[in-house]
Amino acid sequence: MFLFRRSRPRVSVDQARSRTSGDTPDAILLDVREKPEWNAGHAPGAVHVPLSKLVAGAGLPTEATGRPLVVICRSGHRSQQAAKLLTERGAQAVDVKGGMNAWAAAGHPVLDERGNHGQIA
C-alpha cells in the first residue's frame, strides 16, 4: 500500500552544494546522467557514473568509495533510483531534489567537458 512506503532522504541543491564543496566536503556529488549530458554541463567537482552503468553492476570510482554520496541527475528521477540502488549496496546516499535543472536555476556553477560555462542537456 502506498501510504506506508518510506520515502528516501532528499536534499535541496543548496544543501547538496554545501555538503559537496569547499575545503573539506563531507560528501561526494555523484552525477548519474549519461555521458553526453555530463559533457554538456555538470557541477564542478562532481564524480560521474551513469545510472545505466550502476544498474549493470559497475562500482564507484575510488574517490567516491566509502564516502557519503549526494546523487544528482537532470531532474531528480534517475538520482532517486541511483540513491536507492546504492543504499541497497551499503552506501550512504541521498538524492538532490530537482537535479541539475534546479542546480542551474539556483545559480550554482555548471561546467562543460572543457571547463567552460556549460548547460544542462
Active site residue 73: yes
| Cα–Cα nearest to 28, from 71, 59, 88, 81 | 71
Q: What is the pLDDT along the chain (121 residues), one digit of tens a residue?
A: 444 445 678 999 999 999 999 899 999 999 999 999 999 999 999 999 999 999 999 999 999 999 999 999 999 999 999 999 999 999 999 999 999 999 999 999 999 999 999 999 8
Are the C-beta atoms of residues 73 and 82 closer than 8 Å to each other? yes
Compute the C-alpha angle 109/66/7, nearest 5°: 70
- Output the pLDDT for position 1: 41
Sequence-distant (6+) residues with CB within 8 A of 106 are 13, 14
Sequence-distant (6+) residues with CB within 8 A of 51 are 32, 33, 73, 78, 81, 82
Give, for 29, the enclosing helix (H) or strand (E). Answer: strand 28-31
| Cα–Cα nearest to 13, from 78, 67, 75 | 75
Residue from 73, 82, 83, 102 carrying the catalytic annotation: 73
DSSP per residue, 63-103: GGTTS-EEEE-SSSHHHHHHHHHHHHTT--EEEETTHHHHH
CATH fold, domain 13-106, is Oxidized Rhodanese; domain 1 (3.40.250)
* Ramachandran angles phi, psi of 42, nearest 5°: -145, 165
Report the predicted TM-score, pTM, of the whole model to 2 decimal places: 0.93
Give, for 15, the enclosing helix (H) or strand (E). Answer: helix 13-20
